[in-house]
Structures are given as C-alpha cells and as structure tokens.
Amino acid sequence: MTELSRYERDLKNAGLRITQPRRIILQILEQSGDHPDATEIFQRAAKMDARISLATVYRTMKVLEETGAVERHAFQGGPARFEQADREHHDHLIDIETGAVVEFTSPRIEELQRTIAEELGYEIVDHRLELYGRKIR
C-alpha cells in the first residue's frame, strides 16, 4: 500500500531491506536542500525517531552511496558531507567565510578534464573540483 520512493525502489532492487532507519534517513535527504554531514543527518533523524544511532547513519550513507543514491563530499578539513545524487552532476564552490556551498557546472571543464586524462593514458573514474572563494562585495 505504501508507494515506494525512487530510493526505496533502488534499495529493493539491490536486494537490501527497507528499514525504518533507512526510510527516515532517505526522507531527510529528500527534504534537505543543503549538504549535511553525518552528525547533522543524525540530529535531524533523531527528531523523527529517537532511537536511530549515529552508526546507522554512517552505515546507511555508505549503502546509499553504493546504490548511487547519494554523493559523499570530503571538503577541506571537516567531516564528509552528503547530498542526493539523482540530480545532474555539478561541482562546488565553498564560501570560506560562511561555509556555504554554491553549486555550478561547466561542461567545458568536464570536457577538458577528459582530454587531459586521456593524454596521460587514464580514463576518469571520478573527479573533484572545488573552488574555495570569498564573496566580492
């Protein structure tokens, strides 16, 4: 009777169980417009079900990363931050003063990356492009 979200379907297809913690964490990710870290997800989850543990948040993030539902970003210094992965690819500009994350895309840069890797004899499996900047006022 419950209609499954896209993510729940992915879990099912991967032969994984749709558990209460996963359901809640998934729901949080869907609602989050930001890039929360594990602790933040844990806190938000606790509001919906106090018995979820931080370890489960970490485990779930790993699982969701594997099913392709979320992307993990390890920005300078701090803890890993997560976001849904269903949207199209983009890179990040991190405001070094506020920590705010601005997303952007550049097909030209993507293109150049591929060319460069190829020249070096590599195929790109993943990449990270992060700009750390200060707002010009």
Partner DNA sequence: ATGCAAATGCGAACCATTCTCATTAAGACT
Partner DNA sequence: AGTCTTAATGAGAATGGTTCGCATTTGCAT
Residue 59 beta carbon to DNA: minimum distance, rounded to whole angstroms:
5
Interface with DNA (CB under 7 A), residue from 6, 62, 89, 127: 62
Tell me: is residue 65 an annotated ligand-binding position.
no
Residue 86 beta carbon to a second copy: minimum distance, rounded to whole angstroms:
21
128 binds, among a second copy, DNA, none (CB under 5 to 8 A by kind): a second copy
Confirm or reject binding of residue 20 to DNA (CB under 7 A). yes
Tell me: is residue 110 an annotated ligand-binding position.
yes
Position 123, amino acid: E
Confirm or reject binding of residue 88 to a second copy (CB under 8 A). no
Residue 18 and residue 108: Cα distance in Å, rounded?
40
Residue 4 and residue 121: Cα distance in Å, rounded?
43
Q: Which residues pair with 71 in a beta bridge?
A: 83
Q: What are 133's two structure tokens?
A: 């900047």
Residue located via tokens 């543990």: 53
Tell me: is residue 92 an annotated ligand-binding position.
no
> Is residue 22 classed exposed, middle or buried when 0-12, 13-18 and 19+ CB atoms within 10 A define those classes?
buried
In the complex with DNA, the residue whose CB is nearer, 13 or 31, is: 13
Tell me: is residue 126 an annotated ligand-binding position.
no
Position 56, amino acid: T
| Residues near DNA, by CB under 7 A | 12, 16-22, 37-39, 49, 51-56, 58-60, 62, 74, 78-80
